[in-house]
Structures are given as C-alpha cells and as structure tokens.
Amino acid sequence: MKIIEIEGGRQLSGTIRVSGAKNATVALIPAAILTDEEATICNVPEITDTDALCDILKILNVKVNRSTESLVINTKDMKNVSIEEEYSKKLRASYYFMGALLGKYKKVEMYFPGGCSIGARPINLHLKGFEALGATITNEKNKYIVEAKELKGANIYLDFASVGATINIMLAAVRAKGKTIIDNAAKEPEIVNVATFLNNMGAKIQGAGTSTIKIEGVDHLHKCFHEVIPDRIEAGTYIIIGALCGNPLKIDNVIPEHVDALISKLEELGINMEVGLDYVTVLNSPEILKATNIKTAVFPGFATDLQQPFTVLLTQAEGRSKVTETIFENRFMHIPYLKALGADITIKNQTATIDGPTKLKGTEVVATDLRAGAAMVAAGLKAEGKTTITNAEHILRGYEQIIEKLTAVGAKIRIKEI
C-alpha cells in the first residue's frame, strides 16, 4: 500500500501547471475505438486511470503507442472480446467501453464498473439510453451483455443530467442509423471535449455543452488528432491549496470559465486572487476568512468533486459554514478524518456544518476515495506537524505527479510503499 507523508504548516509559492483532465481522458480513450483508423490524443495525464484503460485496450487487441502525455490508438486488428472483472472494476469509467463497443460492434460483454464508494452510482440511465437505441440488455451476476440487431436513432430524456450517461449514449449513437436527441443532457466541459473528438473523427454531434445534444449517425469514423482539455478539478484543488497556504501560488494552464463557481466562492471567503486568461494566482492566504455556504450542483454549479477539498478551507473560516452535497449520497467520508485533524464539523443528512477557525494538527488519516484523498493532502499541508495519508493509491488515480508538483512549490511531502 502507498502512503503519503506531509510536514505541514509551510507557505507554498511558485507555479503549478495543470495536466489534462482525468474525466475527459477516461472517456476519450474508450471513444477512440470508434475510429476505423487511428486516433492520436495529446495532453493525456500520466495517472493510474489512464494505465487501467490502456490495459483494457490491449485485451481488445487495440494497438496503443504511448509516449509522454500522448497516445496513438490504432483499431485495425481490434477484437470485440469480453472485458473481465479484474479490468473493469479498477475504475468506474470502464463503463464507457459499453457505449463505444455497442456503437462499433452492436455488442458488448463486460462486468459492472468499479469506482469510488461515494454512492450507489447505478447506471440505469446509461442502460435506458442503450435500450432506446434498440439494444437488449442481460445482466448475469454483474456481467452485462448489451446487443442490438441494429442501432436506430431515438429521442432520449435523462431523468438526471448524468455526465456518464450523456457521454455513454453519445458513444453508442454516433454510428446509429438516423438522428438521436439527448434531452436534459449534462453540460460538463468534458462532454464538449469528447464531442469535439468524435466530430474530429467525422461524427455529426451538435449541442454538446447544452442540455440538448443532437447526433446524426454516420457509417465511418476516420483518423483524427485531439487534445485533452486542462483538468478543472485538479486546477480547483490546487487553487484551494493556494487559498490555504499560498504566498503566492500560481496555477497555470487553467480555463477560468471552468472554475467560475469556485472562484466566486473564494471571493466570498475574502481570498485575494488574480484571474488571468489561462491561470489563477492566489496572492496570499488572508488572516481572516469569512464563513460561507456551498451547495454542489451540475455544471456550471459548484462541482461536487471540489466539495471535499473546499470543506478543508471552510475549517479555517471565521464562523459557521455549511456544505450541502446534492449529487452523491455518500461524499462526506473525509469528514471524520478532518475532525481527527482538529476540525469542528457536524453532519445532518446531506449537509455538513463547519465551525471555525480551528487549528489543524497533523495525524494519521485515510484516503477513502479520490477527492477525499485530495482533501487530506490539502489539510495535511495546512496542519502543523506530520500528517500520514494511507490508501494513497486513490489520489494517484486523478492527480498527475502530485508529489513533484507540490514539492516544487515548497511542500515537504513524500510517498512511500509499505
């Protein structure tokens, strides 16, 4: 098991460069099999989720040429084999191979995807979309077989603006016969990045980034080149770390519109920032932070993935703050560990109430999921003394070179195998 050790209480200054977006990359890699030729994707983050998806490409006999932060994916000799549980359970996003293989071969056999324990995370909306396109679904002991004689365009309404369902249905529909409309589609930037990639291959997708996506099915998808957008959640995590202990800390390669909700909440707290064209500099962490409330929402609302690191910042605000999590039912697993570090937090239903400011003192904590792990890193950097984070593998799934990036701006942080 990997553990991260941090000597906290230090001011961080310098520049951190944001990598390619994990939540775009994990959809782009499965989407790449839809081409009949070759797809080149650059700005791919070197994170363990990328490794896990490339392993699945290999069992599908897809040729993957991987160099620093880029992938060349060639499907010439590809085989549509069953994706076994040992591969699919490594990450939730393995489910994008359902839409991609269904879209390409009209048949997919795979096990239910893994992922964080932040909620039940059913895939009913994905399956509803596949059925609307003409597929039948059998599910024996967690193994899904999804197949269709023919995939025909359909009008699909999503009861919830699910990111995964929106992307998965898009993947299944790009080569279906006729027109598909996805209503109440999710509008996250990663969806736009995937739609752009597919259109670069010759797909006909309109409206990505709005709540209505129109897809005209095509027969052939050709060679293309594509770039992963910067990771807005990685960016937001480092901006929050800057607010905790930056003096100053510049986060580079950011699309500011993608972190609008976070920036406005940080301004409410009284954080001094400079927001440039493609960077955010946190000038210093002020003495007094004003308490504020956040409620997570779908994009462009406050990102649920930033709720956990942001809660760390609220422990330093003067007064009572509230955090309401509306997207996932079990996304407060970081809170017991924040309390062990000295935070004063109570939870009632989906709302955490934080009274501050409280001094954080280093101790042993656990990364229960990816963003809870990021919250532990943020808290450990702020806390006086040593913080040890176990299950650090979770963190490496979504933060490329996190040890190197933080060390370069003055953090005393290291990772070791035990």
User: Does residue number 121 form part of the binding site for ligand EPZ (CB under 6 A)?
Assistant: yes
The strand pair at 246-252 and 279-284 is best described as antiparallel
DSSP 230: B
Which of 162, 307, 311, 315 is the binder for ligand EPZ (CB under 6 A)?
162
CB of 370 to ligand EPZ, least distance (A): 5
Contacts of 340-344 with CB under 8 Å at 24 or more apart are 340/364, 340/365, 341/365, 341/379, 341/380, 341/383, 341/387, 342/315, 342/383, 343/312, 343/315, 343/379, 344/315
Residue nearest to ligand EPZ (CB): 164
DSSP 217: -
300 sits near ligand EPZ (criterion: CB under 6 A): no
How big is the CA angle at 228 (ends 66 and 68), to the nearest 5 degrees?
30
Of 118-126, 276-284, 347-355, 407-415: span binding ligand EPZ (CB under 6 A): 118-126
Output the smallest distance, CB 77 to ligand EPZ, in A. 28
In whole angstroms, how close is the CB of 305 to ligand EPZ at the nearest point?
4
Closest CA to 19 of 58, 69, 92, 66: 69
Name which position in 305, 332, 360, 367 contacts ligand EPZ (CB under 6 A): 305
Which residue among the candidates 54, 116, 224, 245 is catalytic per the annotation? 116
Which conformational region is residue 22 in: left (phi greater than 0), alpha (psi within -120 to 50 degrees), or beta?
alpha
Q: Per CB under 6 A, which region of 115-123, 136-144, 240-248, 357-365 contacts ligand EPZ?
A: 115-123
Residue choice 3, 16, 26, 392 for contact with ligand EPZ (CB under 6 A): 26
- Of 8, 45, 398, 406, which lies in the binding site for ligand EPZ, with binding defined by CB under 6 A? 398
Buried b (16+ CB within 10 A) or exposed e, 164-189: bbbbbbbbbbbbbeeebbbebbbbbb
Compute the distance between CA of residue 129 and CA of residue 164 in angstroms, rounded to an integer: 11
Q: By CB under 6 A, name the one of 371, 382, 394, 405 that touches ligand EPZ.
A: 371
Number of residues that bind ligand EPZ (CB under 6 A): 28
Q: What is residue 234's three-state secondary structure?
A: helix
Pick 87 or 328: Cβ nearer ligand EPZ: 328
Quick check: 304 binds ligand EPZ (CB under 6 A)?
yes
Instruction: Pick the closer one to ligand EPZ by CB: 239 or 289.
Output: 239
Using CB under 6 A, pick the residue from 4, 34, 73, 116 that binds ligand EPZ.
116
Kindly state whether residue 124 participates in binding ligand EPZ, applying the rule CB under 6 A. yes
Residues 83-112 contacting ligand EPZ, CB under 6 A: 92-93
- The site string for ligand EPZ over 51-70 (x = CB under 6 A, - otherwise) reads --------------------
Query: Which residues neighbour 282 within 8 Å (Cβ) at sequence distance 6 or greater?
Result: 239, 242, 243, 246, 248, 249, 250, 251, 266, 271, 272, 273
Beta bridge partners, 352, equal: 323, 347
370 binds ligand EPZ (CB under 6 A): yes
258 lines the binding site for ligand EPZ (CB under 6 A)? no
Does 163 engage in binding with ligand EPZ (CB under 6 A)?
Answer: yes
**Does residue 235 interact with ligand EPZ by CB under 6 A?**
no
- Asked whether the beta carbons of 31 and 198 are under 8 A apart, the reply is yes
* Amino acid (one-letter) located at 294: I
160 binds ligand EPZ (CB under 6 A): yes
Query: DSSP string covering 309-370, please?
Result: HHHHHHTTEEEEEEEE--S-TT--TTHHHHHHTT-EEEEETTEEEEEE----B--EEE--SH
Piece of 114-122, 223-231, 345-353, 386-394 that binds ligand EPZ (CB under 6 A):
114-122
116 is a catalytic site residue: yes
Interface with ligand EPZ (CB under 6 A): 22-23, 26, 92-93, 116, 119-126, 160, 162-165, 186, 233, 304-305, 327-328, 370-371, 398
**Which residues form the catalytic set?**
116
